Structure 1
Amino acid sequence: MTDDSDPYTVHDRLPDPDTFARLREVTGMSSRSREGIERGLPNSLHAAVAVHEPTGETVGMGRLVGDGGTVYQICDMAVHPDHQDRGLGTRIMERLEAYLEREAPPEAYVNLVADVDGFYEEFGYEELRPASKGMHRWID
């Protein structure tokens, strides 16, 4: 629901590929190939988007990926810079967390790569170090 004081609505759905690429770009996230986007988005377990209702523009997103049982990863959290500091990231995370509470079995492992200090901690996430460290590699 929207009202005059809140022109945003958060929906449980995927962003389209163009929006996904645009939001990653404008928020300074690394790019993904079009092929990767088109293959990956439909394989999401769940997603949420924030829509600026006056313009119909999708201005925020977040996804859950994983095996649907033992491992879940929160990824692609992004809010367009022109629409930040309005609680949209929190509202998107609340949708992802609600899905996890409903669907994830006991002892499921949920991970993420935090790029904003203090944000994910509000949802109960903790830094892994020194017990573990995050790692990555790129496919050329």
Structure 2
Amino acid sequence: MSDDLPLQLSLEPPAEHEYLGLRTAAGLSAMSPEGARAGLPASWCAACLRHQGELVGMGRVVGDGGLFLFVVDIAVTPAWQRKGLGQRIMQSLMDQVHARAPARAMVGLIADGQAYRLYEKFGFRLVAPGAHGMLLRL
């Protein structure tokens, strides 16, 4: 990870239009404006990386804040990928989780493709075959 990149880290969710744009630019599934409008302010914690004001990376943790938390929206714009930004975002989120979440809280995520390798660096472990992640898309 390069520490000399001129990036600003903020611990707040992105604006709705930034969120929707970065998700699709980074190859994540599209979400609805209505969903973003309702969901972003309900983030338990968030991290955004900006270059000259432009959102280039983001991540959030959602959940009830006591028992269950879920890491979502780890995304970096293609021009900034492979520069350690995903790791920087995850470190920021995990710092917040370790500082604020109660003992024994369960923190989960769904890793696409080889992304599980990043998450393993933060203590996450694959659960299959003992358990299987499931998803219902509305």
Same fold (TM over 0.5): yes
State the alpha-carbon separation in 2 of the partners of residues 113 and 133 from structure 1. Answer: 10
Task: Provide the secondary structure at the position in 2 that maps to 1:132.
Answer: coil
1:87, distance to aligned residue in structure 2 (A) = 1.2
State the alpha-carbon separation in 2 of the partners of residues 71 and 117 from structure 1. Answer: 19
Question: What is the match of residue 121 of structure 1?
Answer: 120
In percent, how many aligned pairs have the same letter? 41
**Number of equivalences:** 134
State the alpha-carbon separation in 1 of the partners of residues 8 and 82 from structure 2. Answer: 15
1:117, distance to aligned residue in structure 2 (A) = 3.8
* Aligned counterparts, 1:8-87, within 5 A: 8-53=7-52, 56-87=53-84
State the alpha-carbon separation in 1 of the partners of residues 66 and 44 from structure 2. Answer: 11
Cα RMSD over matched residues? 1.2
In structure 1, stretches of 5+ residues that fail to align are: none
1:48, distance to aligned residue in structure 2 (A) = 0.2
1:138, distance to aligned residue in structure 2 (A) = 1.3
Question: What is the match of residue 88 of structure 1?
Answer: 85
State the alpha-carbon separation in 2 of the partners of residues 98 and 36 from structure 1. Answer: 27
* TM-score normalised over the length of structure 2: 0.93
State the alpha-carbon separation in 1 of the partners of residues 41 and 116 from structure 2. Answer: 29
State the alpha-carbon separation in 1 of the partners of residues 14 and 111 from structure 2. Answer: 21
Q: For residues 85-118 of structure 1, give each alpha carbon's deviation from its aligned partner in whole angstroms, at most 9, with x where no partner exists.
A: 1111111111100111111111100000112141
Residue 108 (1) aligns with residue 105 (2) = yes
Specify the code of the residue in structure 2 equivalent to 1:20.
Answer: Y
Q: For residues 47-104 of structure 1, give each alpha carbon's deviation from its aligned partner in whole angstroms, at most 9, with x where no partner exists.
A: 0001113xx2010000000000000000000000001111111111111001111111
